[in-house]
């Protein structure tokens, strides 16, 4: 299976490290021997080699700051535009791990359409295209007989979508609620330990949880983007940011935290979804609630089902290997599909 990777940052590199480190196991256990034929970045070059790029050389080049440091070899094409790379790479799968834009979904959305035109399956870690254009992408993919997989967009490689859509197939899911932004959960946990909001934010930034501009996390937009994705995937709902309540944690004070604790409760930023709507807002939940015990950067999602009752999934919501694994899980699904 030939793969093309857009975006070679934290997630893209995590994925390539997994391919490098688990190559033998993937071949032996699953008969899976993919070839990464193309890698694109925005400002650090791109590479295309039909016979497959070398993982170590790729990782060494990017660690040095630019894919130009990848060694010369016959057939290697350098610095094609991302659009040209998609058209020329001949891969079966486009992996989109470029930067999320929750306003337009671009340029990733156009890359996805171009990849479908070039007969590729789509695997995304990038939330933008799914949050904003799931229906159109799905329809275009179906029309082409291609799969649209996006496990990494919600809870990294923790299989929230696969649980809901595959393991729980046959159950009716009536409701979902969860902690789907690790940065804010980390900050709330630190504030419970006595840290002020600004100290907790500074620490989250120092640890790489929060961006230099933390607005998307602390104001709830990252969680809301994931809620849009869950609403589309679980309930086939076409929501937009405009028709959901979105509130973040920036108004939560240490006094609020203490008041909740005195009442046997804890503040969490909760995404809540039903077949008729979605919201993201800070809520006080009883300490006995399964989500109350989810601390630090960890994510969790409770799905309420008719046949199984509540099912709660707890795991990583971000990270290099953790999200790289989401891409692997999706391409392994494509591999299994091909073998059937």
Ligand X SMILES: NC(=O)c1ccc[n+]([C@@H]2O[C@H](COP(=O)([O-])OP(=O)(O)OC[C@H]3O[C@@H](n4cnc5c(N)ncnc54)[C@H](OP(=O)(O)O)[C@@H]3O)[C@@H](O)[C@H]2O)c1
23 is an interface residue for ligand X by CB under 6 A:
no
- By C-beta, is 15 or 267 nearer to ligand X? 15
Is 11 a binding residue for ligand X by CB under 6 A? The answer is yes
CA 65 vs CA 45, 57, 175, 267, 320: distances in Å: 10, 13, 45, 41, 18
Please report whether residue 178 would count as binding ligand X according to CB under 6 A: no
Candidates 93, 126, 252, 280: give the one binding ligand X (CB under 6 A): 126
Percentages helix, strand, coil for the chain (3-state, rounded to 5) are 45, 20, 35
Shortest Cβ 302–ligand X spacing (Å):
20
Contact by Cβ (8 Å): 248, 231: no
Among 61, 64, 114, smallest CA distance to 86 is for: 114
Which of 180, 191 has the CB closer to ligand X? Answer: 180
Question: Is 226 assigned a catalytic role?
Answer: yes
Establish if 315 lies at the interface with ligand X (CB under 6 A).
no
CB of 284 to ligand X, least distance (A): 27
95, β-bridge pairs: 5, 123
Contact flag: residue 6 with ligand X (CB under 6 A): yes
Give me the least distance between CB of 100 and ligand X, in Å please.
3
CB 137 within 8 A of CB 306: no
Copy the structure tokens of residue 136: 């159109």
Q: Does 319 bind ligand X (CB under 6 A)?
A: yes
Closest residue to ligand X, judged by C-beta, is 9
Residue 7 is a binding residue for ligand X (CB under 6 A): yes
Tell whether residue 125 is a contact of ligand X (CB under 6 A).
yes
Residue for token pair 């790379």: 85
- Residue pair 4/94 in contact (Cβ under 8 Å)? The answer is yes
- Report the nearest approach of ligand X to the CB of residue 183 (Å): 10
How many whole angstroms separate alpha carbon 82 and alpha carbon 145?
23
Total residue count of the chain as it appears in this document? 340
Catalytic residue among 22, 144, 146, 226: 226
Residue range at the interface with ligand X (CB under 6 A); choices 1-9, 67-75, 159-167, 241-249: 1-9
Long-range interactions of 257-266: CB distance < 8 A, separation 24+: 257/188, 257/191, 257/192, 260/284, 261/192, 265/292, 266/188, 266/192, 266/292
- Residue 37 binds ligand X, judged by CB under 6 A: no
H or E element at residue 168: none
Going residue by residue from 85 to 124, which x/- string records binding to ligand X, judged by CB under 6 A? ------------xxxx------x-----------------
Count interface residues toward ligand X (CB under 6 A).
Answer: 26
SS3 state of residue 87: helix
Q: Do 181 and 317 touch, CB atoms closer than 8 A?
A: yes
Quick check: 278 binds ligand X (CB under 6 A)? Answer: no
Q: Does 44 bind ligand X (CB under 6 A)?
A: yes
**Shortest Å, Cβ 299 to ligand X:** 10
Sheet (strand 277-286) strand order: 245-246, 277-286, 265-274, 173-179, 299-305, 309-315
Residue 82 engages ligand X in binding (rule: CB under 6 A): yes
Tell me the closest approach of the beta carbon of residue 324 to ligand X, in angstroms. 9
91 or 292: CB nearest ligand X = 91
Q: Is 297 in the site for ligand X (CB under 6 A)?
A: no
Nearer to ligand X, 21 or 310 (CB): 21
Residue numbers at the binding site for ligand X (CB under 6 A)? 6-12, 40-44, 82, 97-100, 107, 125-127, 152, 156, 318-319, 323
Report the catalytic residues.
226
């Amino acid at each position: 299976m030939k793969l093309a990777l857009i975006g070679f940052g934290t997630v893209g590199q995590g994925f390539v490290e997994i391919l490098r480190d688990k190559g033998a196991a993937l071949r032996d256990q699953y008969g899976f021997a993919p070839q990464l034929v193309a890698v694109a970045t925005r400002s650090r070059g791109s590479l295309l080699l039909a016979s497959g790029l070398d993982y170590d050389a790729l990782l060494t080049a990017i660690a040095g700051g630019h894919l130009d440091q990848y060694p010369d070899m016959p057939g290697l094409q350098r610095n094609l535009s991302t659009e040209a790379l998609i058209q020329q790479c001949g891969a079966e799968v486009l992996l989109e791990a470029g930067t999320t834009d929750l306003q337009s979904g671009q340029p990733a959305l156009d890359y996805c359409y171009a990849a479908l035109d070039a007969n590729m399956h789509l695997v995304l870690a990038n939330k933008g295209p799914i949050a904003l254009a799931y229906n159109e992408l799905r329809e275009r993919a179906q029309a082409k007989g291609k799969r649209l997989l996006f496990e990494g967009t919600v809870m990294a490689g923790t299989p929230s979508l696969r649980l809901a859509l595959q393991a729980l197939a046959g159950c009716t899911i009536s409701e979902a609620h969860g902690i789907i932004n690790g940065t804010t959960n980390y900050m709330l946990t630190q504030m419970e330990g006595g840290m002020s909001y600004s100290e907790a934010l500074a620490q989250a930034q120092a640890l790489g949880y929060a961006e230099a501009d933390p607005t998307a996390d602390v104001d709830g937009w990252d969680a809301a983007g994931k809620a849009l994705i869950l609403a589309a995937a679980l309930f086939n709902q076409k929501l937009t940011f405009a028709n959901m309540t979105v509130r973040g944690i920036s108004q939560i004070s240490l006094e609020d935290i203490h008041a909740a604790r005195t009442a046997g409760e804890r503040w969490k930023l909760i995404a809540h979804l039903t077949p008729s709507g979605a919201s993201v807002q800070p809520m006080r939940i009883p300490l006995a609630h399964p989500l109350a015990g989810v601390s630090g950067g960890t994510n969790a999602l409770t799905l309420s089902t008719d046949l199984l009752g509540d099912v709660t999934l707890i795991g990583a919501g971000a990270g290099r290997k953790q999200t790289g694994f989401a891409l692997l899980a999706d391409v392994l699904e494509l591999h299994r599909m091909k073998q059937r």
